[in-house]
Amino acid sequence: MTAFIECLEKWSINDSKVRAVLRRSLAFDPGKYTLAYPYVEPFLKANESTLRRQMYYLVAGLWATHWKLERSEKKITVAKACANYMVITDSSSIEKRFISVIDADSSQLPYRLRQLIALLKDYPIDFVKLLEDLLYWNNELKLTQNAWARNFYRPSYDEKI
């Protein structure tokens, strides 16, 4: 998964068309925009599950909308970025959006995540971790959603006073 994001980074530095195509792919259901195939399909097996294929396309599109050349800061999870955003902006609406994401089923996820990632444009999101998490989104124990909730509601040891 790290190779996937690294490859997108490398390709996009040489050709901004990569980001444009992947951003445009978010207007379609994940995996339905044929121009995005050359950038995602090399990382998928022929017999990949539908969910896995969709999550790769979704993360590629989200990555493209969020990309900035100068990002060299340490990457953080979506949940931690939401928590930081809430503290800095003193906005309770981010919590509602965050809850709507962790409550979403895989069909609602693309729309809700697009909105959330757009709000977090100033945060260095860890897209490798996001992809790893989304691949287990449909787990019946909701392990990913529970981990996100813990990361959002529990401050890290560095932040404790």
68-91 pLDDT tens trace: 866 667 999 999 999 999 999 988
pLDDT in tens, 93-140: 999 999 999 999 999 999 999 999 999 999 999 999 999 999 999 999
Contact 64, 18 (CB under 8 A): yes
pTM of the predicted model over 0.95: no
Whole-angstrom Cα distance, residue 87 to residue 105?
27
Q: Report the 10 Å Cβ neighbour count for 27.
A: 10
Report how many domains make up the chain.
Answer: 1
Q: Which domain holds residue 126?
A: 2-159
Predicted pLDDT at 160: 43
DSSP β-bridge partners for residue 76:
125
Tell me how far apart the alpha carbons of residues 123 and 149 are, in angstroms, rounded to a whole number: 18
Percent of the chain whose pLDDT exceeds 90:
81
